């Protein structure tokens, strides 16, 4: 085997995940090649460090000290965040009121409730029938306009006399 092929299978050899026939070829190559022995010793040292770390990790305490627990709790629950968490109903209501005020402001600014009339159209709202001798003409929808005013037709843009 070439050194490049050998180095690609060294991890399998050192972790004993290789068949016996192939392991014999690797062992024979390692006896003859200094570079591959050096790479194998580096891999072996790395594996030993990993096993040592795994053993020492088991010896660590499973709980945090009270001081570290308090520091972590403060880091996650900053005083402002803690107050918001404890008063979440008030905070939710304030946020909802703010959003509603913003939406009402925007609707008022866009004149959603009272859109401006196009130029040339006058609408007069009266609760009763037109007075005797008045120049107003009643339309079928009970709104009144003066007979000399014109309305713009939206579909073709021409003016027509109101009847």
Enter the tokens of residue 56. 């020492």
What is the spatial distance between Cα 105 and Cα 59, in angstroms, rounded to a whole number?
Answer: 63
Torsion over CA of 48, 51, 52 and 53, rounded to 10 degrees?
120
How confident is the model over 6-41, as pLDDT tens digits?
A: 878 888 888 888 888 888 888 998 899 898 899 889
How confident is the model over 42-100, as pLDDT tens digits?
A: 989 988 888 887 777 666 666 778 888 887 777 777 778 778 888 999 999 999 999 99
Is 52 within 8 Å of 22 (Cβ atoms)?
A: no
Q: Please give the average per-residue pLDDT across 123-140, as a whole number.
A: 61
pTM for the model: 0.35
What is the spatial distance between Cα 11 and Cα 40, in angstroms, rounded to a whole number?
Answer: 8
């Amino acid at each position: 085997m070439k050194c490049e092929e050998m180095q690609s299978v060294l991890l399998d050899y050192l972790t004993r995940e290789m068949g016996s026939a192939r392991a014999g070829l690797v062992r024979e190559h390692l006896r003859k090649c200094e570079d591959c022995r050096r790479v194998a010793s580096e891999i072996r040292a790395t594996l030993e460090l990993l096993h040592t770390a795994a053993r020492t990790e088991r010896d660590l305490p499973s709980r945090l000290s009270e001081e570290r627990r308090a520091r972590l709790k403060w880091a996650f629950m900053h005083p402002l965040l803690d107050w918001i968490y404890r008063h979440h109903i008030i905070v939710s209501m304030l946020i909802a009121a703010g959003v509603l005020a913003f939406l009402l402001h925007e609707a008022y600014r866009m004149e959603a409730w009272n859109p401006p009339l196009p130029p040339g159209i006058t609408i007069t709202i009266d609760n009763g029938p037109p007075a005797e001798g008045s120049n107003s003409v009643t339309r079928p929808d009970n709104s009144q306009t003066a007979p000399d005013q014109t309305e713009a037709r939206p579909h073709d843009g021409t003016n027509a006399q109101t009847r």
